[in-house]
Amino acid sequence: MPSFQTYKDLSVTFKKHPVTNDLVTVKDNAAISQSIAVLLQTDRGERLFQPQLGSDLRQMLFQPLDFGSAALIKNKIDECIGKYEPRVVVNDIRCTPDFRNNGYDVELFYTIVGDGRRVGNSFFLDRTR
């Protein structure tokens, strides 16, 4: 019997399942990736009754586009995931400024706790007005 626990969450799309008419769910790595994306997009103070939850990445995107800001973004991502996502252990975060597209290329590598699978996600951070 494997010791891995299945992680399950509602999809943020809130679409209904075509057969059961229930909300669509996501499982395992998809649920964890969705949770990490929501955590990183949340500003501190945005959630009622959980004012410390979040990463404050949005305000970092209006700082100068350089390697110093990239290091601060990397630290904020590591701190947020380490504090609020106990299902993963962060292995590496790479954050590099993309001067041509005016944003940051981020690569996140983590291991799922209980499963041991190593997962890599990449995304682009840029300002929105």
- 18-43 per-position pLDDT tens digit: 888 888 888 888 889 999 999 999 99
Closest CA to 121 of 105, 110, 108: 108
CA distance linking residue 90 with residue 109, whole number of Å: 6
Asked if 91 and 109 touch (Cβ cutoff 8 Å), the reply is: yes
Encoding tokens for residue 13? 């799309």
CA atoms within 13 A on the CB side of 58: 12
CA distance linking residue 95 with residue 124, whole number of Å: 9
Domains and their CATH numbers in the chain: 8-126 (3.10.450.40)
pLDDT at 118: 94
- Which residue has 């996140």 as its token pair? 108
pLDDT at 1: 39
pLDDT at 5: 65
Positive or negative torsion for Cα 111, 116, 118, 123: negative
Ranges under pLDDT 50 in the chain: 1
pLDDT at 2: 52
Encoding tokens for residue 114? 């209980």
pLDDT at 39: 93
Query: Which residues, 6 or more positions from 118, have their beta carbon under 8 angstroms from its beta carbon?
Result: 91, 109, 110, 111
